[in-house]
Amino acid sequence: MNTEYQNDQESSRWNHRPSQPVALNPLFEWPPNFMAILKWYSAYWLAASTTTLAVVLGCMAYFTILPPLEAIQKVQVGWIIRVWLANLIPHIIFAGALHLWLYKVKGQDKKFKFDPRQPAENNGTFSFQNQVYDNMFWTLVSGLTQWSTMQCFIFWAMANGYAPAFLFPDNVIWFFLMFPFLIFWASFHFYWIHRALHWPPLYRVAHAVHHRNVNIGPWSGISMHPLEHLLFYTNFLIHFIIPSHPLHIMFHGYMQSIHPIFSHSGFEKLYVADKQRANMGDFFHQLHHRYFECNYGTVEMPWDKWFGSFHNGSRKGTEKTRVRKRRMHS
């Protein structure tokens, strides 16, 4: 038990703060702790998580909605709409259901809610003077459109031989290794794109739209300016370099766009009928939305720790971040 963390003043700034400092992937610690590594990856791949959800959704889309690559060689409205619907439907279901349960029904009240505030209404900072409507607009009009467009472009390129593709029997080992590889790639890409978006001119033009959401909710995840969406979804371009299966493309999209629904939910855990049903929120990223100049990446790779922008949720982490922010903007 970290008593210094438990008793520091940072806890008073939150309705709920996790009982332990933010942990990063133990794979990158030395000396290696194999039990910690096993526990970390078991939580991602062998239990209910946004990672396993992305795999399940990818399989469902591939086997029930997506046409075979041969049918995608020509640009046709039919298969493009199918890709768009494969993204739209789960996004509305999960973001809508979480928002309804957590913020309308208030099914668990403020239990495990990081920030005690409700989404903003009658607030001129947001489009339509409403945080949720603002977030839904940028998510569905810009985010979903660019996410689906990028996937359609890659599917078309695969079907026509412009992007390397393979089917499951061709390389079974790489088929499975590609899933964790995409998570590491996304972490690397997100850290550097995100840091670039905090460059003041680019922040004012684009990233400020996302950072209106100091108090985040399920619809905040991919609520971004179109320019930020364009930069964010350039991570799909890896599929022009690394051979991929069409299922990987869908998994990649869900990991990038469905996962933020949960990580931006504003709650650490989901409780239904007085029982914990899932781990959900991401305090690591919640800290970023409150303090801005910290935790640009993800917990999967310790880029923030390596480059001095890591905030572990403690009072010392806040003090360090504030000093760094003043230095950056002086």
The rounded distance, in Å, linking the Cα atoms of 244 and 249 is 7
Q: Tens place of pLDDT for every residue, the chain, 330 residues? A: 577 787 788 888 999 999 899 999 999 999 999 999 999 999 888 878 899 999 999 999 999 999 999 999 999 999 999 999 999 999 999 999 999 999 999 999 999 999 999 999 999 999 999 999 999 999 999 999 999 999 999 999 999 999 999 988 889 999 999 999 999 999 999 999 999 999 999 999 999 999 999 999 999 999 999 999 999 999 999 999 999 999 999 999 999 999 999 999 999 999 988 888 888 888 999 999 999 999 999 999 999 999 999 999 999 999 999 999 898 877
Indicate whether 84 belongs to any domain: yes
CB 155, CB 82: distance < 8 Å? no
Indicate whether 184 belongs to any domain: yes
pLDDT of residue 1: 58
pLDDT of residue 197: 97
User: Over the stretch 7-53, which tens digit does the pLDDT of each residue have?
Assistant: 788 888 999 999 899 999 999 999 999 999 999 999 888 878 899 99
Q: What is the number of residues in the chain? A: 330
The rounded distance, in Å, linking the Cα atoms of 184 and 301 is 7
Indicate whether 240 belongs to any domain: yes
Indicate whether 211 belongs to any domain: yes
Indicate whether 7 belongs to any domain: no
Taking the chain, what is the end-to-end CA distance rounded to the nearest angstrom?
Answer: 38
Secondary structure of 178-189 in HEC code, one letter for each residue:
HHHHHHHHHHHH
User: Over the stretch 282-303, which tens digit does the pLDDT of each residue have?
Assistant: 899 999 999 999 999 999 999 9
DSSP secondary structure of 109-170: TTTTBSS-PPPPBS-TTSGGGBHHHHHHHIIIIIIHHHHHHHHHHHHHHHHTTSS-B--GGG
The rounded distance, in Å, linking the Cα atoms of 26 and 34 is 8
pLDDT of residue 59: 97
Assess whether the previous peptide bond of 180 is cis (omega < 30° from 0).
no
Report CA-CA distances (Å) from 198 to 181, 191, 322, 324, 325: 26, 11, 15, 13, 11
pLDDT of residue 312: 95
Considering its fold, how many domains does the chain have in total? 1
Indicate whether 306 belongs to any domain: yes
Indicate whether 10 belongs to any domain: no
- Domain ranges, residue 262: 15-329
Residue of 326, 318, 310 lying closest to 24 (CA atoms): 310
Residue of 83, 103, 101, 81 lying closest to 93 (CA atoms): 101
Indicate whether 2 belongs to any domain: no
Residue of 25, 19, 2 lying closest to 304 (CA atoms): 25
